[in-house]
Amino acid sequence: MMNITAEFTTAATKLSQIPDDGLPQVAFLGRSNAGKSSLLNALSGKKKLVRISSKPGKTREINFFKINQAFYLVDLPGVGFAGVDFNKMSEMENGIRAYVEKSKNLRGIIYLIDSKVGLQPIDVETIENVRAAGCPILPVMSKCDKANQSEQAKTRNAIQKILGNDVKPLRLSVLKKVGMEEIWQEILSTVAV
Ligand code: GTP
Ligand code: MG
C-alpha cells in the first residue's frame, strides 16, 4: 500500500460548496451501511478520518478528502435510508444526483454493494442514474467476509445482469483486508496522477 496523506477539506450540503480547484474526484456511493466510510478510513490508513456507525444514515454531507494534494476521495451519504430524518435525507439524495450530474471534476464512482444483502432495487435505480449521467462506475462487493460463496455468486450475477458480463465486481473486505490494493489501483488509474 502506498504512503498517502489524507486531509479532510469540506462537508458540502450544497453544490456551491463543492471544491472546484480542478483536482479530479472519485466518489464512494451505495446504500446506507454498505461500508463506504469504512473503506475510506482503511484506504487512508486513518481509522478516525471519517465517522462510521453500525446504524445506517451516519454520513449526512458530501465529504471531501484531499489525497496527496493531488485528487479527492468523496464520501457520499448512503442512498435509500428511510430513517427518522427522512426529509433531510431525501434532500440529500437530490444533492447526490446533482453532484453526479453536474460535477465537472468527478471522474468515477465506486459503487458499494453489501455482498450478503445483495443488489436491491434502489441500487439498480441509482446505478442507472449514474450511468445516464455518463459517469464511469466500478462495482464493489463489500463485506465479503460476511457472505458465503453462493451469496457472493448471487450478488455478482445480479450486478453483471445490469452492468454486463465483462464487468468484474471487486471483492472487498475492510475487516479481512481483501481487495484494498485493487481498489487503490482503480482509483489511481481513474484520476491518472
Ligand atoms: P452510511 O454513512 O450510513 O451511508 O454508511 P456507510 O456506507 O458509510 O457504512 P459504514 O462505513 O459506516 O459501515 C457500516 C457498518 O459496517 C459498520 O458497523 C462497519 O464496521 C461495518 N463494516 C464496514 N466494512 C466492513 C467489512 O469489510 N466487514 C464487516 N464484517 N463489516 C464491515
Ligand atoms: Mg458513511
ipTM over 0.95: yes
Q: What band does 99 get if pLDDT is binned at 50, 70 and 90?
A: confident
Looking at residue 84, its pLDDT comes to 47
Split into its structural domains, the chain has a count of 1
Query: Grid coordinates in use for 117?
Result: 444483502
Phi first, then psi: what are they for 14, rounded to 5°?
Answer: -135, 150
Cα–Cα distance list, 11 to 86, 117, 123, 127, 158 (Å): 20, 29, 24, 23, 33
Asked whether residue 191 is domain-assigned, the answer is: no
In 3D, which of 18, 105, 118 has the Cα closest to residue 61?
18
CA of 91 to the centre of ligand 1 (A): 23
pLDDT at 12 over 80: yes
Helical spans, DSSP H, in 82-179: 86-102, 121-132, 149-163
Q: Percentage of the chain surpassing pLDDT 70? A: 83
Identify the residue whose C-alpha is closest to ligand 1 atom 18.
54
Identify the residue whose C-alpha is closest to ligand 1 atom 32.
143
Ligand 1 pocket, residue 95 CB under 6 Å: no
Q: Distance (Å, rounded) from C-alpha 151 to C-alpha 157?
A: 10
Looking at residue 166, its pLDDT comes to 95
Q: What CATH number has the domain bearing residue 115?
A: 3.40.50.300
Mean pLDDT (whole number) for 87-98: 65
Mean pLDDT (whole number) for 147-165: 97
Structural domain including 102 reads 6-186
Asked whether residue 193 is domain-assigned, the answer is: no
Ligand 1 pocket, residue 115 CB under 6 Å: no
Alpha-carbon dihedral of residues 145, 25, 93, 166, nearest 10 degrees?
A: -50
Ligand 1 pocket mutation pick from 40, 44, 53 by most atoms within 8 angstroms of CB: 53
Number of H helices, E strands in the chain: 5, 7
| Higher-confidence position of 56 and 133 | 133
